[in-house]
Amino acid sequence: MENASYYDRINRRIRNSVTLKLLSMGILMLLLLIPASMIESLIYEREFTRQEVITEINDKWGHAQTLAGPVLIVPYKVYRTTDDDRFVETTEYAYFLPETLRVEGKVTPEARYRGIYEVVVYTTTLSYTGHFTPPDFSDWDIDPEHILWDDAVLAIGISDLRGINESIKLRWNSTPFDVEPGVEARAVMDAGVSVRVPVVSMPPSSGRYDVAFEVNLNGSEALHFVPLGKETRVHLASSWNTPSFDGAFLPDTRTVTEEGFTADWRVLHLNRNYPQQWRGAKVNLYESAFGVKLLLPVDQYRKSMRAAKYAILIIAFTFLTFFLTEVRNREKRAHPFQYILVGLALCLFYALLLSLSEHVPFNAAYVLASLATISAVTAYARSIFKTRFLSLLTGLVLLVLYGFVFIILQLQDYALLVGSLGLFVALTLTMYLTRNINWYAMGEAE
Give the model confidence (pLDDT) of 25-40 as tens digits.
788 888 888 888 888 8
Q: Is the pLDDT of residue 15 over 70?
A: no
318 and 377 together in one domain? yes
| CB proximity list for 416: less than 8 A, separation 6 or greater | none
The confidence score (pLDDT) of residue 71 equals 92
From 268, 297, 326, the end of a domain falls on: 297
* Confidence grade of residue 1 (pLDDT, cut at 50, 70, 90): very low
Mean pLDDT lowest for which of 128-137, 145-154, 212-221, 403-412?
403-412
Averaged over 298-319, what is the pLDDT? 83
pLDDT of residue 18: 64
User: Which pLDDT score is estimated for 442?
Assistant: 54
Residues 223 and 307 in one domain: no
**Residue 408: per-residue pLDDT:** 84
Decide which of 426 and 180 is more confident: 180
User: How far is the C-alpha of 437 from the C-alpha of 23, rounded, in Å?
Assistant: 18
How does residue 446 score in pLDDT terms, banded at 50, 70 and 90?
Answer: very low
Query: In terms of domains, do 75 and 32 share one?
Result: no
**Residues 289 and 320 placed together within one structural domain of the fold:** no
286 and 323 part of one domain: no
In a domain, 28, yes or no: yes
Statement to judge: residues 285 and 186 lie in one domain: yes
In a domain, 242, yes or no: yes
Could you tell me if 84 and 181 lie in one domain? yes
Residue 204 or residue 275, greater confidence: 275
Asked whether residue 268 is domain-assigned, the answer is yes
**Any domain includes 399:** yes
Instruction: Give the pLDDT confidence score for residue 314 in this predicted structure.
Output: 85
**Measured distance CA(366)–CA(388) in Å, rounded:** 26
Last residue of a domain, one of 231, 262, 297: 297
Mean pLDDT over 279-283 rounds to 79
Which of the residue ranges 3-17, 145-159, 179-193, 426-440 would you say has the lowest mean pLDDT? 3-17
Residues 245 and 275 in one domain: yes
Note down the domain range covering 438.
15-49+301-442
Examine residue 3 and state whether it is found in any structural domain, yes or no.
no
pLDDT digits (tens, 9 = 90+) for 316-368: 888 888 877 777 666 667 777 888 888 888 888 989 998 898 888 888 999 99
pLDDT of residue 368: 93
Per-residue pLDDT, averaged over 413-429, amounts to: 80
Q: Per residue in 137-177, pLDDT tens?
A: 888 888 888 889 888 999 999 999 988 988 898 999 888 99
Q: Are 81 and 224 contained in the same domain?
A: yes
Together in a domain, 95 and 238: yes
Q: Does residue 70 have a cis bond before it (omega within 30 degrees)?
A: yes
Domain identity same for 145 and 237: yes
Instruction: Domain count for the chain, please give it.
Output: 2
Is 9 among the domain residues? no
> Among the three residues 297, 323, 339, which one is the final residue of a domain in this structure?
297
Q: Would you place residue 238 in the very low, low, confident or very high pLDDT band (cuts 50, 70, 90)?
A: very high
- Shared domain for 104 and 194, answered yes or no, is yes
